[in-house]
Amino acid sequence: MKKVFANILPDVPYVPFLYPNLGVQERDSILFLNNAFKGMKTPFVELVSTPEEADYILLPHNYSSLKDHMRYIKEQSALAVKHNKKLIIFWHGDSDAPVNLSNVIVFRTSQYGYNQQVNEVMMPAYAEDLLQGELVLRSKRDAKPVVGFCGWADYKNAKNRFGTTVKNTIVDAVRVSGNQNIGARKKGITLRMKAIEQLKYSDRVEENFIIRSSYSGNSKTIKTDVEQTRKEYIQNMLDSDYALVVKGDGNYSYRFYEALSLGRIPVLLDTDCLLPLEDVIDYDTCVLRVDFKNLPELGAIIAEHYENLVPAEFESMQRKARAVFQDYLSIESYFRYISEKIL
């Protein structure tokens, strides 16, 4: 077991990587987040009392929570350099900005392929395992594939519409100037709405959509009954052959990991996405990736994928989806993997 040294600030939550060592800290704003950490009891690393004993120095707080602690960050970086150790950073959130520190390993949820730094390692979102009981497989039918989506895919208000339009206009201006990859940075709500509109008017898929006008994963933004909304979200996936997955403000989605946990095949609108452990996991065996530039053909691509699968292959993809989540992408499995194979 690797040894880490961490200077923990008393007024800032520590990262879930340390929950088995220090205890779970309940979080109230992001709904259902606490469920992702159930059963995490065996430590992933050993906490030691001096940097000399450690294999690594750990920044024990989510990087985005340290905006008011820049001096502290620099001190931890200097400590790592002084002792010739790597500084481990976890950045769970929407940003893809670089961490401009030497000697660091950055585990992060959001990044674009063209923008990835050599010191970055992709990690899954802190997603809940939604499977209750046995895995329920859908059978291949001689019918159109059912594509499900339940979530935010409408403007909250005029301000939200205006802000989204401004952001997309800036992205388009940069793209026209020569950087084609920048098109992936369009607001997630825009891409989500376009994908849903395309599928609604496609005669080759059956849509199973529940559209919300606000984000239902945060206690500050949800406008419906929490438990009922969650039940509808889960049932929508279970009643679908494919789960439509489009990024949010960051270039990742909780929905991707939640769909896998239920053994459902994500249709990932690929906005230059980087997925965790791509050198280990063969995502093509359980995920349908569709380049965002092919969004106008989304319905046809899904239909052709479904039509080309024999029943055994369709069921195999569902089983593989569940296995990939369980073995690698649940947060406990991922932390165990990186502590044993990467650190």
pLDDT tens for residues 129-188?
Answer: 999 999 999 999 999 999 999 998 876 555 565 456 555 555 555 555 556 677 888 888
Domain end (from 92, 108, 124): 108
CATH of the domain at 188: 3.40.50
Task: Report how far residue 65's alpha carbon sits from residue 74's, in angstroms, rounded to the nearest whole number.
Answer: 15
User: Based on the domain organization, do 311 and 246 belong to the same domain?
Assistant: yes
Integer Rg of the chain from CA:
21
User: Based on the domain organization, do 14 and 83 belong to the same domain?
Assistant: yes
- Domains held by the chain: number: 2
Global confidence as pTM: 0.93
Task: Report how far residue 321's alpha carbon sits from residue 36's, in angstroms, rounded to the nearest whole number.
Answer: 18
Task: Report how far residue 319's alpha carbon sits from residue 323's, in angstroms, rounded to the nearest whole number.
Answer: 6
- Establish if 267 belongs to a structural domain: yes
User: Based on the domain organization, do 215 and 276 belong to the same domain?
Assistant: yes
The model's pLDDT over 276-332, given as tens digits with 9 standing for 90+, comes to 999 999 999 999 999 999 999 999 999 999 999 999 999 999 999 999 999 999 999
Other CB atoms within a 10 A radius of the CB of residue 128 amount to: 22
Q: For a pLDDT cut of 90, what percent of the chain falls above it?
A: 79
User: Based on the domain organization, do 72 and 182 belong to the same domain?
Assistant: no
For position 152, what pLDDT does the model report?
84
User: Based on the domain organization, do 70 and 161 belong to the same domain?
Assistant: no
Quote the tokens at residue 171: 């992205």
Domain end (from 108, 136, 157): 108
Q: What domain range is 217 assigned to? A: 146-329
List, as one string, the DSSP characters of 99-116.
---SSEEEEES--BGGG-
